[in-house]
């Protein structure tokens, strides 16, 4: 995109900070946190028979291109018979961030890092999350390791959890690794530079695809929405482009789903109450059935993840262009995930969308507070200590973390809308090809590309329906409120 469209992000910073405050999130750390950060000089170190030395393994990280808050590493080990051991190392954030400390209090309040176009508002100070508690390349770090034996059919047949010392041998990014795995590009420089990493990634990719196939056979939902990522030119925002899925993202997703399942089972087996991440059986299943019927498809009258998964796969093949919009409708009808208290001996719902019965969040303790809670529970269980949290505390934390994660999502959506309005502010009168993504009594909405965003058709919307192609003219933007208004072009 031409640099003439680049925009200063300063107005977005104001929007982002205000959105944080409006949604009960603190954009700043405060004096007590800053004082504690100044007192921390180095990464945590610890020795003992309970900490295994796994520094010699070919650990790698795969994350977003710009990420420095690295929470997990992975490595594969062949075991014969077509099976593999997959080891996932999770940054030992608790080794520095202790319960009741000022840093912990801030993390407990916000519960999550908030990623906006304008700025990142990290849950933990960057001195920790991007350095001392991050699994940075060539850095020795303490970790919690989830070890899983994966059969050729994608079943997790054995598992273990323990503490270890690890070193990240290659910091890699989704886009570079994904393009290489899919056969279209040369391997990233770090893959080529470190002996054995290329073979490691090929093995991990194969195991991840086996895990993915096994989940899909159980009814995991393969949804696709258009998530726009910011593009900067010379420090200015120049575009919002759709974020595409790839094999590298699938690799990490499958390993994290499996590791989170193992962690949930481990804590239950130790008799520990914990937080589970659940997506309940959809209450609006009747509406999902009606949506399928409108497309000439049928779903059973009672909720079935397997039937819904088959329907989505078929619609992706029939109409890939409109599949992201169908996915978004399904996501809204499924409802939001939530954290709930899991008490051993009691049955709770699993995750309908992932098609797993046992699921928690444990693999991103630099970015999510529930993961830090899970880590503390795991470490207590490993050492034979009692839980650091009462059931009452965990129940309250489950509700608070659910609320704050929803608030964080509101902030991110709000700033994205304002970013699109900012990019388009100087293009009043420009015309765009668009697709109708929503049409109801509440309004008619269209999506354009370059930048990828949605706006409302406020004039000439009569007769338009979802899926229609239409030419629209930009007539108004409001950066502060994130409004983008179109009229049907003549």
Q: What domains can you pick out in the chain, each with its CATH number? A: 3-279+351-420 (no CATH), 285-334 (no CATH), 428-488 (2.40.50.140)
Q: What is the pLDDT of residues 220-261, one digit of tens each?
A: 998 888 777 777 777 788 888 778 889 999 999 999 999 999
Closest CA to 402 of 335, 337, 333: 337
What's the rounded Cα separation, in Å, for the pair 339 and 109?
A: 15
Is the per-residue pLDDT at 328 higher than 90? no
What integer pLDDT is reported at residue 6 of this predicted model? 65
Mean of pLDDT over the chain: 93
Q: What is the pLDDT of residues 446-464, one digit of tens each?
A: 988 878 889 999 999 999 8
Closest CA to 44 of 107, 104, 131: 131
What's the rounded Cα separation, in Å, for the pair 442 and 427?
A: 26
Rounded to two decimals, the pTM is 0.92
Produce one character per residue of 117-143: b if its CB has 16 or more CB atoms within 10 Å, e if not: bbbbbbbbbeebbbbbbbbbbeeebbb
Farthest-apart Cα atoms in the chain, separation:
75
Can you tell me whether residue 415 is helix, strand or coil?
Answer: helix
Average pLDDT over residues 362-381: 98
Is the distance from CB of 214 to CB of 200 less than 8 angstroms? no
Q: What is the pLDDT of residues 112-151, one digit of tens each?
A: 999 998 999 999 999 999 999 999 999 999 999 999 999 9
Average pLDDT over residues 99-110: 98
What integer pLDDT is reported at residue 5 of this predicted model? 57
Which is it for the CA torsion 255, 328, 357, 293, positive or negative? negative
Can you tell me whether residue 30 is helix, strand or coil?
Answer: coil
What's the rounded Cα separation, in Å, for the pair 390 and 383?
A: 18
Q: What is the pLDDT of residues 18-52, one digit of tens each?
A: 999 999 999 999 999 999 999 999 999 999 999 99
Can you tell me whether residue 362 is helix, strand or coil?
Answer: coil
What integer pLDDT is reported at residue 283 of this predicted model? 87
* Element at 1 (helix H, strand E): none
């Amino acid at each position: 995109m031409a640099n003439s469209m680049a925009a200063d992000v300063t107005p977005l910073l104001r929007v982002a900070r205000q959105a944080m405050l409006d949604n009960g999130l603190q954009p700043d750390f405060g004096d007590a946190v800053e004082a504690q950060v100044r007192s921390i000089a180095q990464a945590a170190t610890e020795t003992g028979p309970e900490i295994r030395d796994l520094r010699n393994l070919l650990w790698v990280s795969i994350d977003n291109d710009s990420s420095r808050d690295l929470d997990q590493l992975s490595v594969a080990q062949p075991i014969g018979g077509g099976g593999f051991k997959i080891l996932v190392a999770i940054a030992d954030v608790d080794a520095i961030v202790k319960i009741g400390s000022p840093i912990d209090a801030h993390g407990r309040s916000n519960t999550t890092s908030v990623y906006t176009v304008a700025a990142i508002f990290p849950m933990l100070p960057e001195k920790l999350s991007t350095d001392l508690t991050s699994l940075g390349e060539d850095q020795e770090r303490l970790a919690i390791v989830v070890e899983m034996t994966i059969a050729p059919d994608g079943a997790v047949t054995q598992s273990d959890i323990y503490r270890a010392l690890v070193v990240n041998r290659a910091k890699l990014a989704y886009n570079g690794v994904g393009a290489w795995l899919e056969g279209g590009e040369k391997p990233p420089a770090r893959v080529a530079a470190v002996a054995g990493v290329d073979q490691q990634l090929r093995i991990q990719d194969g195991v991840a695809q086996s895990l993915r196939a096994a989940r899909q056979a159980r009814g995991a939902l393969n949804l696709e929405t258009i998530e726009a990522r910011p593009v900067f030119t010379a420090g200015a925002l120049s575009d919002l482009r759709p974020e595409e899925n790839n094999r590298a993202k699938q690799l990490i997703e499958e390993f994290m789903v499996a590791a989170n399942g193992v962690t949930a089972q481990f804590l239950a087996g130790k008799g520990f109450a914990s937080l589970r991440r659940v997506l309940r059986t959809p209450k609006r299943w009747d509406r999902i059935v009606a949506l399928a019927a409108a497309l000439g498809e049928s779903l059973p009258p009672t909720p079935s993840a397997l039937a819904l998964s088959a329907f989505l796969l078929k619609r992706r093949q029939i109409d890939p262009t409109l599949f992201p919009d169908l996915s978004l409708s399904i996501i809204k009808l499924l409802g939001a995930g939530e954290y709930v208290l899991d008490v051993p001996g009691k049955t709770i719902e699993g995750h309908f969308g992932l098609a797993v019965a046992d699921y928690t969040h444990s693999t991103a303790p630099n970015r999510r507070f529930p993961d830090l809670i899970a880590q503390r529970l795991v470490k207590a269980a490993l050492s034979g200590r009692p839980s650091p949290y009462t059931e009452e505390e965990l129940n309250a934390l489950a509700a608070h973390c659910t609320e704050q994660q929803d608030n964080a999502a509101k902030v991110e959506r709000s700033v994205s809308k304002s970013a699109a309005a900012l990019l388009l502010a100087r293009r009043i009168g420009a015309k765009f090809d668009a697709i109708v993504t929503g049409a109801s009594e509440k309004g008619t909405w269209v999506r354009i590309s370059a930048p990828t965003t949605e706006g409302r058709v406020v004039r000439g919307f009569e007769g338009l329906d979802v899926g229609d192609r239409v030419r629209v003219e930009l007539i108004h933007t409001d950066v502060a409120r994130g409004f983008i208004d179109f009229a049907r072009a003549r």
